Amino acid sequence: MRKITMFIFLLTCSTVLLAMQQPTIQHTVSKGETIYSLTKRYQITEEVLYRYNPQIRSGLQANAVIEIPSVAFQQEPTSFIEHKVKRKETLFSLAQEYHVSIDQIKKYNSELYARDLNRGEVIRIPVFQKGKQKPAEGLVEYIVKPKEGKWRIAQNHGISEAELERINPNMKTVLNEGDIIWVPANKIDSGEYTMYAVQQGEGFFALKRKFNVTEEQLIALNPQLAGQGLKAGMELKLPKKRDAIGQGEVSLLDQTAADQLLRESMNVNQPQSLAFVLPFKLEKGAEDSLGSLRSKLENDRLVGYAVDFYSGALMALDSAKSMGFNLKVKVLDSEGSESAISKLLAQNTFKGTQWVVGPFLPKVFNTLSSGLLKDSIPVLAPLSNKNIELYDNVFQTLPTELMVQNAMISHILSKQQQGAHVVILADEKNASMQSQLQGKIVGSRVVTDVKNIKNALVMGKVNWVIVESNSVAFISNTTRALNALLDAKYQIIMATTQRGDAYDDNNVSNSHLSNLTFHYPTVDKLSSEKNTFAMKYESQYGGSPNRYAIRGFDITMDAILRMASQGDLYKAAKKVGETHYIENKFKYDRKLHGGYYNTGVYIVKYQDLEIVEAQ
């Protein structure tokens, strides 16, 4: 049910549109009319106006005929009535009884988008206050200016973004020009200071590097620091010496050298036009797509991946817009088919688009990337690293298995140069990998039976034992044998170039792996469930983000920042080094006479029963 609700939310935030069920009236646009004036005239939101008229996202044209929903927009409810559904009651009869619209009932009972009422169930009926809402004491109305986001408004009024959201509990996720919100009456346009939330693990030295402010200056501005010291989540007042990225966005981005280059060189005001082409599969039977969402999400994993990926991408877009980025976004349905892509290309859908994410499936992706090659539009492959045609305009964001293996080998070679001894142990199915490793790691010892492993180890040296197998029995026996040798005072680190599913089996002891400081390569490291992104995601969608949602965020945010830094993804691939975000890292190299591939791989290790990044 959570994913169905998420899907509905995502669709309302994108240009993937479903057939409208609500009656409308027609309006002929007069010269000089704007989106803002229409929303005020008809008392509807911009989202509703765009939902019924997707063609006006590119601008209003005089004499154009647009659709206006006949049910007027209501303000946010002041309370709710719990109603137990009786026999023969319908959404229409309840709307009539409580003087609300069917849409308003569905909005606060999101499961009703996908099904009818059930007798005996309890639903929430919104109650709306009549007349204009009175401001709380000390607050005044503020009209959002063009390209203003939550963070910038909060900064200009001397409060944090969290405080702005607290005093505006019904504020939209993404603000639009003309929106009216509440701000502190005595703190309007405070241009001297900004607010910042301290992140986990940050100390005075980290803040000095980030904001060029000393410990003494921080304490002078924030006297509470003298007694408490720095604590995660603490709100600090900082001098506004430069146009920095907002506090929520800083917390979503790791501080790497390449990230710093992106921050210092990026042009926030440069417009970006981008498109997501994902397999929502709404084209067929669009008129009953809401009713079939449950079936789609349960029976078609590809649709579920698309929903998850775009939910993360949407958070990146929201973060970027709150930083002041000017983004024009299209969300298109690939339907998981080459024919749908051919249709989009024939309709010249991508005219003016600067970069594209998707589709997922290799054949469908190749159809799109080849179709956009003549226009040199970069296309990012989000999930596939096999069977992707690396045309000049292609960015393969997922490192290949060979790149992952080579990253681990390079790491072990660096340890060998520092004096480590290397032992290779592989089962019969991995004999070929054993030969490759032996050829690349000169001086390594090969063992064919774990019973003989002790004879290959060297006392007084760090022994790196590379285990190549995906057999539960083989791995379990190996880890037990190596753990026993730890008691005999041997220094052993276990590693593999390809961590298979066998390592997740209950018969493979995590304690043994942790004792052996087990190392392996991966394209995405595990992130904390308590990081800022995860908490924001759970607050917005009601659940923790999975790897597809996190990848959607990471790919989207990285592309936005690279574009803003160099104005061109091709230039950024050459000039911007390695970047990393929540769980993914990006470092693009170019194939000779071809496109770009990501070589960003993590080496992680088991440490105290946790998986952490190895140095």
- pLDDT, tens digit (0-9, with 9 covering 90-100), for 294-337: 566 667 889 889 999 999 999 999 888 877 788 999 999 999 99
The arithmetic mean of pLDDT across residues 579-607, rounded, is 93
Give the pLDDT confidence score for residue 363 in this predicted structure.
96
Which residues, 6 or more positions from 539, have their beta carbon under 8 angstroms from its beta carbon?
Answer: none
- C-beta of residue 595 within 8 angstroms of C-beta of residue 395: yes
Which residue has 């067929």 as its token pair? 284
Asked whether residue 391 carries a pLDDT value surpassing 60, the answer given is yes
The arithmetic mean of pLDDT across residues 519-529, rounded, is 86
DSSP H/E element including 110? none
**What does DSSP assign to residue 34?**
-
For residues 452 and 55, give the distance between their C-alpha atoms in angstroms, rounded to a whole number: 71
Give the pLDDT confidence score for residue 158 in this predicted structure.
65
- Across 64-68, 279-283, 514-518, the highest mean pLDDT is recorded for 514-518
Asked whether residue 546 carries a pLDDT value surpassing 70, the answer given is yes
Alpha carbon separation from 283 to 17, 190, 329, 371, 484 (Å, rounded): 10, 49, 20, 21, 60
Asked whether residue 386 carries a pLDDT value surpassing 80, the answer given is yes
Residue 266 is encoded by which pair of tokens?
């990026």
For residues 580 and 434, give the distance between their C-alpha atoms in angstroms, rounded to a whole number: 31
Give the pLDDT confidence score for residue 3 in this predicted structure.
62
Helix/strand/coil for 289: coil
What pLDDT, in 10s, does the model give residues 147-193?
A: 677 877 876 776 767 777 777 777 777 777 777 787 876 544 445 56
What pLDDT, in 10s, does the model give residues 249-306?
A: 334 444 344 455 566 667 777 899 999 999 988 754 444 444 455 566 667 889 889 9
Give the pLDDT confidence score for residue 201 in this predicted structure.
62
Question: For residue 488, is it left (φ>0), alpha (ψ between -120 and 50) or beta?
Answer: alpha
What pLDDT, in 10s, does the model give residues 444-453?
A: 999 989 999 9
Which residues, 6 or more positions from 540, have their beta carbon under 8 angstroms from its beta carbon?
Answer: 173, 315
For residues 330 and 505, give the distance between their C-alpha atoms in angstroms, rounded to a whole number: 42
Closest CA to 319 of 512, 595, 553: 553
- C-beta of residue 439 within 8 angstroms of C-beta of residue 467: no
Dihedral sign computed on CA atoms, order 418, 423, 429, 435: positive
Give the pLDDT confidence score for residue 249 in this predicted structure.
39
Closest CA to 405 of 430, 427, 428, 381: 430
Alpha carbon separation from 356 to 11, 267, 397 (Å, rounded): 18, 20, 12
Residue type, 227: G
Residue 592 is encoded by which pair of tokens?
């000779």
Give the pLDDT confidence score for residue 180 in this predicted structure.
77
What pLDDT, in 10s, does the model give residues 409-446?
A: 999 999 999 999 999 999 999 999 999 999 999 999 99
Which residues, 6 or more positions from 393, have their beta carbon under 8 angstroms from its beta carbon?
Answer: 369, 372, 373, 376, 377, 378, 379, 595
For residues 566 and 573, give the distance between their C-alpha atoms in angstroms, rounded to a whole number: 9
Helix/strand/coil for 353: coil
Closest CA to 274 of 590, 558, 36, 48: 558
Q: What is the mean pLDDT of the chain?
A: 80
The arithmetic mean of pLDDT across residues 393-415, rounded, is 95
**Where are the strands (E) in 449-601, listed by range?**
462-468, 491-495, 519-522, 579-580, 585-586, 588-590, 596-598
Give the pLDDT confidence score for residue 235 in this predicted structure.
67
For residues 572 and 335, give the distance between their C-alpha atoms in angstroms, rounded to a whole number: 31
* Domains in the chain with CATH codes: 79-127 (3.10.350.10), 139-246 (3.10.350.10), 402-522 (3.40.1010.20)
DSSP H/E element including 375? none
For residues 532 and 540, give the distance between their C-alpha atoms in angstroms, rounded to a whole number: 12
In this structure, the strands spanning 139-143 and 180-184 are: antiparallel
What pLDDT, in 10s, does the model give residues 73-98?
A: 445 677 888 999 998 888 878 877 88
Beta bridge partners of 425: 447, 467
Closest CA to 350 of 273, 407, 406, 293: 273
Asked whether residue 22 carries a pLDDT value surpassing 50, the answer given is no
> Cis ω on the peptide bond leading into residue 69 (within 30° of 0)?
no
Residue 214 is encoded by which pair of tokens?
């000393």
* Torsions phi, psi for 272 (to 5 deg): -125, 135
In this structure, the strands spanning 79-84 and 122-127 are: antiparallel
* Torsions phi, psi for 23 (to 5 deg): -65, 150
SS (H, E, C) 477-519: HHHHHHHHHHCCCCEEEEECCCCCHHHHCCCCCHHHHHHCCCE
Residue 6 is encoded by which pair of tokens?
């998420």
For residues 409 and 273, give the distance between their C-alpha atoms in angstroms, rounded to a whole number: 40
**Where are the strands (E) in 326-480, listed by range?**
327-333, 355-357, 379-381, 394-396, 421-426, 445-447, 462-468
- C-beta of residue 574 within 8 angstroms of C-beta of residue 583: no
Closest CA to 13 of 298, 313, 267: 313
For residues 109 and 96, give the distance between their C-alpha atoms in angstroms, rounded to a whole number: 17
Residue 437 is encoded by which pair of tokens?
């490793």
- C-beta of residue 69 within 8 angstroms of C-beta of residue 47: no
- C-beta of residue 586 within 8 angstroms of C-beta of residue 558: yes
Higher-pLDDT residue of 577, 571: 571
- C-beta of residue 401 within 8 angstroms of C-beta of residue 498: yes
Q: How far is CA 163 from the centre of its chain?
A: 24
